[in-house]
Each structure stands twice: as C-alpha cells, then as structure tokens.
Amino acid sequence: MCGIAGQVNADRRPVDGEVVARMGERLRHRGPDDHGIYVNGHVGLAHRRLSILDLSPAGHQPMSNEDGTIWIVFNGEIYNYRELRDGLQGRHTFRSRTDTEVIIHLYEDYGPECVSRLRGMFAFAIWDTRAQRLVLARDRLGKKPLFYGLQNGGLTFASELKALLVADDRPEINPVALHYYLIYQYIPAPLTIYRGIRKLSPGHVLVYEQGKVSESAYWSLRFTEKQAKLPDIEIQERFLALLRESVQLRLASDVPLGAFLSGGVDSSAVVALMSQSMTQPVQTFSIGFEEESHNELPYARMVAERFGTDHHEFIVKPSAVDILPTLAWVYDEPYADSSAIPTYYVSELSRKVVTVVLSGDGGDEILGGYPRYRFNPLDRLLDTLMRSHRWVGTAGDRLRALIKRLSSDLPIIRGFRYRLLASLWPLRERYLHRICYFTPEEVEELYSPEFKEMVRGHDAYDLIEQWMEDAEAVEFLDRLLSVDTRTYLPDDLLVKVDRATMAHGLEARSPFLDHHVVEFAACLPVEWKIRGGQNKYLLKQVMRGMLPNQILDRPKRGFAVPIDRWFRHDCRDFVREILLSPRCLSRGYFRPEQVRAMIDRHQETDENFGSRLYSLMMLELWHREYVDQAAGTT
C-alpha cells in the first residue's frame, strides 16, 4: 500500500518540484519504505511506497513504460495481475514483478478503459505525455482513497487531504459538508470539508485534458439481474468458492500477514478460510474493553483456539481518548465514528508483527448484516401504503408535529421523539433516523442562526431519497443495501480502516469486497440475506460446522466503544474542557446554550448524547489541528 500525490498545470506553467516533494513527504506514513518524484515541466508526481510485492528496487515509483512516455503512481493491490501480465507478454517488456507495471502496459493497450480489467483495490494516476492527459482512477468499492482539487489553473490530487494542503494551506471550509457530517458522522462523497476539493467517487475514472475535467463511472452495483432459480446447495457452494478464492488471492505477499479478529461472523469466517490455505498459524489481532457490555474478546479467543492462531490482544481503556487529537490529524476532515479508536489501536498492535492484515469489512453491507434491515417486511408494507394512501402520510405528519411540540416539555418523549412512531414516516425519514447521529430536526435547534442560513436548502432527507432513487434495485432490502454500499461503506467504514492502518504503515485487505463476491451477492434473492429474522443467512449457512455455533448464533454487535459511559464518568471533565472552551463556543456554528444543555443532560440524567457529543468533539479537535494551526491561532 502506498501514498500518491501530484499536480498538473493546464497553462504549461512549471510545477514547483519542492512542493511536489513535500506533498509526498506528507504521506510518509502510508509508505515508509521508499519514495520518489517525477517532475517534468508542468507535471509533477510523488509516491511513497509500502513494499508488499517485489521488494526489489525494480518496484520504485513513479514508474514509466519502456520509452518514458507513460508514467504512473499507484496505491493498492491488483490480485489478477499475473493473469493480466500473461496476456500482455510478447507485446510489452517487463522490468519488474509488480502489479504497477501491468497497469502501465494495460493503459498502453486500452487507454483509460483498462481500469475495468483490474481486480483489486486501487487508486492511481497516469500521466500520458503523448496525449498530455492525466487519468485518475479509483476501485469499484472505494477501498483506496483519492482526492483532487482544481485551483490556480491546474489539478492537484493526493491519497489524503493533508497532502493537498501543501499546495493550498488555507482552503475555505464547506458549510454544507459540515452540515452533512453532523447528520451522517462522515462527509459523503464527492464532498469534502473544503470547497473546491472533491473525493473521486468509487468506481469512477477522471480524465484531465486541456484544462478540462471529465469524470465517469466504469462500474456500478446492480441488484436487478437476479440469478436463475438454483438449488440451495449450489448457491451455497458457489458463494463459498468465491469467498475462498477471494481469501486465497489476498494471501499473496512477500511480507508477513495476519488478520483482524473481532469475534463476529465476518472476521471469523476470514480467519477460518485463511487457516485452510496457510501452512503456518494465522496471526490474529483483537481489541477489547474493560466494560463487559462492549468486550468481545471471549468470542475472538474462541475462534483463535478453534483454528490454532497465534493470537494477540489489546485492552482499550478510557484514557484512549488521549488519542483523539491524533485521530483528528489522521482522518484529515471531521470524522465521528468512535470505532476509529479501537481500529487505530489494533492497527498499531498488528504492525508490530505483520505488514498486511485481512479483515471482515463489507460482509454486513453485501449480505444484510445490520439489525435495521430486519424491519424490511414492515417497511415495505408501510412504503406501499404511503404511496397509495395519502391519509397515512398526512397522519404521520400530524403525529410527528405533535411529538415535536410535546418533546420540549416532556423528557420521556424528548429522548425518543424521533424514533417514536417513526414507522408512520416516509421511507427516507424512517431510514435516515435509523442511521443518523443528529437528526435534521435536532440540528435545527443546535445551529446558530448564521450557520442555519448558510446551509439552508440542503436537506438530508432529499439526499438520502436521491440515493434510494439512484439504486439499481427493485426489492426493498436491495435498495437499502445499495445505499449503504454506495455511501456508508466507502465514506465511513473503509475510511476508518484505511486511515487507521495506513497511519501505521499497515495494509488491510477485504475479501468480502472482491467485486466478484459483491456482484454474486447482489444477484441473489433477498431471502438469502435475511430469512426467518436471521441476518446474513447465506454466510451463516456456509460457515455452519466450520465456525462455533456460539459465533454464528449470537446477536449482532458492532465495533462499539463505551463512549457514553466514558463521557459520563472517566472523561466527563475532558468533554467540558473541549466543548465549553471559549475557543469552541466562538466558532459560530452552534448555539452555546444548546451545547451546554446537551452535555448537562448526558452527564446528569439518563439521556444519551454520547455519539453526538463525540461528533462535536472531533469537529472541534479537527478545527484545532487544521484550521487554527494554519491560521497561527493555536
């Protein structure tokens, strides 16, 4: 895994080689083993290398073709590169054993369309000197990040926002992105926290030529092309074969590898399949908590013992919040998923032993793993009623208005107001209220009048409704899976793992997110995902007998952090020190009395605002790390 960055000036103005070098240096953590730059007039490319395959100097980047007319910087792994290389032999000369060189020669033969032939995780930039063209590409599911900005008559790109800040250290904050962050806990693509800087969306290619940008999708996940009726045993065998192949492909490495093991079904399945393909014990890494309600180490140990892994553990304590300023730097923009804390620590633990880890990421999104999906039959019925009977929707609107009025006076209603009677709301509102941190109604109360005016007209309900309308799916559950695969997966979960692992020079691989596995799951009838109230039915069926029943049959538990308890007890002063500081209260986003009331209600009553306070904390710490320091006001 690596870090890439670069700049192209459309007006042929020479790039500053020192700036390009500093952009690469800002990504040192992503590639501690080697670095390089290519500067030629109005073009500059930078690369930081984490050596995984072909550890020789032949893998040095930026890398070119034989005559130096095509240059590439590449971040990721291409798992079918040997097969692709065989097809290119005879027409091209290879000087290394790397997958990077395969992409160069594929581009020579197929141009930007070469990306559709790649199987793996990747983000890369190709500079074509003959066509004077820059091509940026990102993998189908968004496992590897890529940002770009148009400024000063040119295009700048990088694996992380912090590298782009080398070229522009005072970009303007995008208030709309901040608004969506508070609702979703992350900033949805293509937005970033900065105006003028965008995320390249998963499954997209960008071409920059003659000062113009064109961005297009080369892949999208379709749930409409269902498999013909097959015997149950055949579906199970085909899925297991695909998953096993995906795991085996991700074992290719010239450096030590292991696996994250949470004790959940997904990571346990990966460890089980790894153990069948490796001659040495699998190195497994787990994180636990002192609070038994959040501690899953006993389940991880059960799996480790079953497969005889070389197991490593770490206990996260409340003092872990000391790492929050570091996380604000690591994640570049406001990011409020508190499971970043244990992910950061398990990555640190793993890097002491291995350089590559496999994870269970993606299993929930492709196979229907979240408890919120189990409302599917009721949701489908209510959605049909609301579409056909206007009076149902009208009654829901009236009840909602009543709850909102009562909530200001009755705490028991206030605590549940946006979930109470939610089944009578339109689909977009029902689903948003299941996944959001702050609801759109709550931020209305939180925002200052000035900030409220800045984000007026940007409705989170409309955004999620657009995602649902764009889904290439007919079945209700498939529409929800499509939304989460397109948004929550790449913009939250994969961001969490990429930044936490790369902060330690560790590569993470996700067998469930091989696009062959993902496409097969999308083509299955929904009853293979949820059946009889059981989530991830297919995976549990194929792993039955391989994994302990205690793992397969226990209720779903996310990678939860006891942040609610920490903010009430061990870290209560820390919360007040940060959020009630004059510096924080003067930002102008929020009404100070609302922030103070939220803290008081969380710490002095049974109401739970832990996740929402965490999101405000990470916003403030990000401000201090990136905005205040750039302005010299730390």
Is residue 373 packed enough to be buried (19+ CB in 10 Å), middle (13-18) or exposed (0-12)? buried
Q: Distance (Å, rounded) from C-alpha 206 to C-alpha 505? A: 27
DSSP code at position 15: P
Cis peptide bond N-terminal to 342, omega within 30: no
- The sign of the CA dihedral 139, 512, 288, 256 is negative
Q: Rounded to whole angstroms, what are the CA distances from 6 to 69, 72, 106?
A: 17, 10, 21
The 3-state DSSP class for residue 297 equals helix
Residue 207: strand, helix, or coil: strand
Q: Which two tokens stand for residue 258?
A: 């292991």
* Phi and psi torsions of 523, nearest 5°: -85, -5
Alpha-carbon distance of 618 to 63, in angstroms, equals 38
Identity at 1, one-letter amino acid code: M
Strand partners, 204: 217
Question: Quick one: how far is CA 212 from the chain centroid?
Answer: 28
Decide: 485 and 221 in contact? Cβ < 8 Å: yes
Distance CA 118, CA 231 (A): 31
Q: Which amino acid is at 632?
A: G
Question: DSSP character for 105?
Answer: H
Q: How many CA atoms lie within 13 A of 454 on its CB side?
A: 17
The DSSP element (H or E) to which 38 belongs, if any, is strand 34-40
Q: Which two tokens stand for residue 546?
A: 């391989």
Q: What are phi and psi of 83, to 5 degrees?
A: -60, -45
Q: Is 523 a catalytic residue?
A: no
Instruction: Name the token pair of 401.
Output: 């208005």
Phi/psi at 262 (5° precision):
-90, -20
Which residues are part of the catalytic machinery?
A: 2
